[in-house]
Structure 1
Amino acid sequence: MRLKPFCIAIWIISWWLWPVHIFAQPMELSLADYDRLLRATYAAAQRGDLLELQTLAAELTAINQVRMPDGQTAHVDHRWLAEALAPSAPDTSAIAARLGALIDALPPSTAVVTDALKHWEAVLNEPPFNRDQSESWFTHFLDWLLDGLADLLPDLPDMPVTPTPGDPSWITPVAWGILAITALLFGGLIFFWARNMRRALRPVVGIAESGVEAEPVTFSQAQRMAEAARRAGDRRNAVRYLYLAALLWLDEQKLLSFQRELTNREYLSRLRDQPPLYTQLTPIIATFEAVWYGLQTIEEQAFRAYEQQVTTLIGQTGTKYEATA
């Protein structure tokens, strides 16, 4: 009976220490998944969605380690996020700025590139790119003909290295036949090459004649194409055209030179001396990369928040901007 209180005390101590042992175990996440979680939390902070932000913050706070592409692990600590969300009215702008800095500090991940390559692979497997690579009847015919000519070559008579001018005796009927067949093959190859080139160019001509708009070169064109994509339910292209509209607007206002060969990070680096503009363009680029390169689905509410970010940027950097939505 004296052992009973002792056993109860051991059970109580074990009951209290067991959760500590469980939660002390490090929670690991891959770099690609960690990057997606950071960007989702960043987008929620930008929208001011406290409910989603608190949910995602709980996931981030539970992470202790991040697995790098080379197999090494890096320790992370997001207790600051829980502390920032503790007040009744947390500063979501400051949280978003700190999350954005974390995203910029991340090492490059291959997840976005891999997803983009899969997307392009799916596109290239559709017409007109997925042309049948199997050998045609003409290729089989050429193989058969060349094999036959190879069988005839050992039977050709010896020809003098320097033929006598005016003496055609060295040109045998077999040689004439080979020359004629070679000329026919050469002509046939030119014919089929020209026909294939005509087929390849036909879709391009059709697109040019159908009046389809090319890439926008002005702010108004990008704005119009974004509105058309949104009405068609294509929010992914609408996000891209809105981003182009923002860049073209800044170019027209002489605030940022628009050059298609520049990357998104290069655009941001050119705005380091303009902190307000840098802060406004950063979440726009983050959403665009997640939707366009990361192939993430953007819901209507998130799209409207993104559209409002572009509207605010344009409204604060030039004349009054009237949203098309």
Structure 2
Amino acid sequence: MKSNRRQMLQLALIGAGLGVSSLGASGVWAAGEGRGEKLFRRPGLAFDTSVALTVVGRDEQEAEAALDAGFSEIRRLERIVGLSTPGSDIRRLNAEGRLENPDPAMLDMLAVAEEVHRASGGAFDVTVQPLWIFYDAFARRGLWPTNEEAAPARALIGQKGLRFGAEAVSFEKPGMGITLNSLTHGYAADRVAKVFCDLGVRRAFVDTGEMEALGRAPHDRTWTAALKHPRQPDAMLGTAPLTGAMATAGDYAYTWSADYSRNHILDPRTGFSPASLATVVVIAQRAVVADALSTAVMVMGPIDGAKLLQKFDAEAYGITKAGKVWATPGFPREHLA
């Protein structure tokens, strides 16, 4: 069993060919200052991964206030949808089967989940959590269940059995549960970006596990994303400009087998991990949508995944398990294989 959530996507804040000063948590490069501008960067931990918020500006007090507000929003979301956060709303929902008066943030994510679920023909389904827990319990003991042993957990999957609205979120069957991990990081990026905009921040880079860029990098350059190889820890696939939101999903992030064939991404229709792609990077206008689509495309594979991306005006770049490159026509590949 191997957890390596941040091995794929490293963000290089190199927009203007700036001098790189450090590689911080989550692989975000902090570049040097230029023309009176400063990069105010604050790393941290949230949602079981490293995060980092970066603001471009001149006034330190204003930048620090924005970073404080950004991290406050992240902590708020952890209390709502953090699966590993004690007492979080989602943990109470999964334990009790019903959550009264859900926070609007949870309802927002569930609405996106429903949209992608329908658009993907059920390939994206947030009710896979009981099966994930079941598999993980076996893997921690160095074992793997038979299909017959896993059948009861598989029977709990089905987003049609999830009910949600302003009054409550509930499950149709006892024992059901949800994970919003394929939406949470992207949703957090969107929310922090909005917090920044509300405070008058126009140039920033948000890394909450998924990425979102605001405005331009120093020296009026584009923020640039460096894509790390899913199988070679020290190798890069290349770089891509980022002007919106970017999210990644990969079989390496949490795996139960040395060959990555058993991993945290599960096809809700079969109960098994998909066999086509090793990793996918999605660019979309909203990070929460990019986040959900990256998981859905991993499940659906290149052909059906490309059709799904068209419905959301999104682009993707991926590597198959055989090591071949796959990309949609609009993904910026100038500096990629």
TM class by shorter-chain length?
under 0.3
Question: Whose strand proportion is higher, 1 or 2?
Answer: 2
TM-score by length of 2: 0.20
Structure number with larger C-alpha Rg: 1
TM-score by length of 1: 0.21
Question: Whose helix proportion is higher, 1 or 2?
Answer: 1
